Amino acid sequence: MTTSPQSPARESARDDVLLVRSATVVNTRDGSVTPGTDVLVRDGRITEVRPGIEAPERLRARVVDAKGLFVVPGYNDMHAHPLDQLPARSRDRDLRLLLAHGVTGFRQMSGSAGLLRARAEGTLDLPSDGARPLSMPGTVLVTPLNAGSPEQGVATVRQQHAAGADFIKVAMTTPEVFFAAQQEALRLGLTIVGHLPQGIDVVRASGIGMKSVEHLGPGVGLFACCSSAPAAVQPDADGGGEDKLKAPPVKLPFMDRLIDRMVKRLVVNPVNRTTPQAVDRMRRAVDTYDSSMAHTLARRFVDDNTWQVPTLIRVKTQQIADDPAFAEAPELRHMDAPTLKRWRKATARFARFPESARVTFRELYDRQLQLTHAFDDAGVPMLAGSDTSGAGWVVPGASLHREFDELGRAGLSPLRVLQMATLRPAEFLGTIDTMGTVEPGRLADLVLLRANPVDDVENLHAVAAVIRDGRYYSETDLTAIKNRATNDR
């Protein structure tokens, strides 16, 4: 049968073969396009990409006319948290919302012993019409909870390694704990990614092998290295820009769940915990930003192959949380009432910051855009991520598209933005043979777009259809998935 991208929903069984006919294939390496190309998909993989492919006889084939449509690899949200959403219904809603926006894969940025076990046993039981997890850590390292001392940090890294974690994620630790955990992770052959602890020597962390820095720090994490007065920006390790976490008086078995609950409350908007001293440091970071130092830092990241995941939409929704555009965003209809209540409550709290603090947060965001541009100029490898599932005003799927817009606003080219969601994730994960391009051998996770994404970032939003694991979702199917998510919430 031949169907257009607007065709109605189909039965859920997968056809043997999917033939996407007369598409314009976008080369994510250089942005070149090849019109009139057919893409043949079998068993969830791309098997052929060339003009004039005939659907094999004797097989159940679905043929899609993609004339006028642009084929790109499925988008990947490289900083997301859907898997630890509870109940499972919320998790599945988030995974489906990702897919319905063209996001076929994601890097899960927080795990747990339970999640690692379920994955190893094959009992995760995720919906097939949702985004696929690409990589997952254990529980994030937090001082004083599961990484109170260097020894405990090392022990936690070993446990997570034994439990099958793909990498180690650091959230909030002291520099001593950070470096001890980093050394141990590297010794075990695991990469370590995450937040830079306050007062840390960024150059040292990068040089030893931190694989990715999230959220540009966060806070002023990177700005002390881009300041003409670094000492005025860099907090000392104990000085704190946020209130310190207190260790709960319980033993380890309950720790994961406790961390989970604590983190959930904190993550809606961590900027809410900014102390007046930290606001002052942000002010100085804004005022003493030095673009030649930013360039030097960028060169360092390039030399060390230290990746950046700016998650600008996350940074923006934290630092400009009271922008009415967020509270009025149409995608909020997908979220459930308790979540929206949490987000509004956190925003009401944010609005109580004095005007001068909010101006500083806003101006720091302008610097963060500038820094992102400087990194791109210097060739720092970067990934697109939204920090969705937990972060305030950050709706699964829709928020990655908002991230595209912010990256465009920072001055990145449309091709670069596309790469940050497709080719770069494959390079980062070492899976270039199975994803990141539209070529034979790659997983059949694809997006069909109505306009050339290399011409304009705006065109990345023009999703006409999605293919996930070889299964075709028309625009009607995608709308149905979104509506179901809204109704099920």
Helix axes 276-287, 355-378, angle to 10 degrees: 50
Q: Which is nearer to Zn ion, 28 or 143 (CB)?
A: 143
Q: How far is the CB of 376 from Zn ion (least distance, A)?
A: 21
Q: Which is nearer to Zn ion, 38 or 387 (CB)?
A: 387
Q: How far is the CB of 247 from Zn ion (least distance, A)?
A: 22
Q: How far is the CB of 315 from Zn ion (least distance, A)?
A: 11
Asked whether the beta carbons of 202 and 155 are under 8 A apart, the reply is no
Q: How far is the CB of 379 from Zn ion (least distance, A)?
A: 25
Checking DSSP bridges between strand 463-468 and strand 471-474, what pairing results, if any? antiparallel
Q: Which is nearer to Zn ion, 84 or 387 (CB)?
A: 387
CA distance 185 to 147: 13
- Whole-angstrom CA distances from 128 to 12, 96, 131, 478 are 10, 9, 8, 13
Asked whether the beta carbons of 320 and 409 are under 8 A apart, the reply is no
Q: Which is nearer to Zn ion, 158 or 264 (CB)?
A: 264
Q: Which is nearer to Zn ion, 129 or 387 (CB)?
A: 387
Q: How far is the CB of 287 from Zn ion (least distance, A)?
A: 28
DSSP state letter for 197: P
For 356-364, which contacts have Cβ atoms below 8 Å and span 24 or more sequence positions? Answer: 356/279, 357/274, 357/276, 357/279, 358/320, 358/322, 360/279, 360/282, 360/283, 360/286, 361/271, 361/282, 361/318, 361/319, 361/320, 362/319, 362/320, 363/286, 364/220, 364/223, 364/282, 364/285, 364/286, 364/319
CA distance 452 to 450: 7
Q: Which residues bind Zn ion (CB under 5 A)?
A: 109, 387
Q: How far is the CB of 171 from Zn ion (least distance, A)?
A: 8
Q: How far is the CB of 109 from Zn ion (least distance, A)?
A: 4
Which residues, other chains included, contact 457 with Cβ-Cβ below 8 Å and sequence gap of 6+?
Answer: 404, 405, 407, 408, 414, 417
Q: Which is nearer to Zn ion, 396 or 414 (CB)?
A: 396
Q: How far is the CB of 323 from Zn ion (least distance, A)?
A: 21
Q: How far is the CB of 310 from Zn ion (least distance, A)?
A: 12
Q: How far is the CB of 81 from Zn ion (least distance, A)?
A: 6
CA angle 260, 264, 270 (to 5 degrees): 125
Q: Which is nearer to Zn ion, 7 or 388 (CB)?
A: 388
User: Which tokens hold the place of 307?
Assistant: 């990746």
Q: Which is nearer to Zn ion, 42 or 424 (CB)?
A: 424
The b-or-e profile of 286-312 (16+ CB within 10 A means b, else e) is: bebbeeebbeebbebbeebebbbbbbb
User: Which tokens hold the place of 127?
Assistant: 């919906």
Q: Which is nearer to Zn ion, 109 or 454 (CB)?
A: 109
Q: Which is nearer to Zn ion, 64 or 109 (CB)?
A: 109
Q: How far is the CB of 482 from Zn ion (least distance, A)?
A: 23
Q: How far is the CB of 215 from Zn ion (least distance, A)?
A: 8
Asked whether the beta carbons of 6 and 17 are under 8 A apart, the reply is no
Q: Which is nearer to Zn ion, 99 or 394 (CB)?
A: 394
List, in sequence order, the alpha helices (H) in 165-306: 175-187, 202-208, 230-233, 255-267, 276-287, 291-304
Q: Which is nearer to Zn ion, 19 or 263 (CB)?
A: 263
Longest dimension (CA), the chain: 72
For 199-204, which contacts have Cβ atoms below 8 Å and span 24 or more sequence positions? Answer: 199/175, 199/234, 199/235, 199/236, 199/237, 199/238, 199/239, 200/175, 200/237, 201/175, 202/297, 203/297, 203/300, 204/179
User: Which tokens hold the place of 268?
Assistant: 């809606």
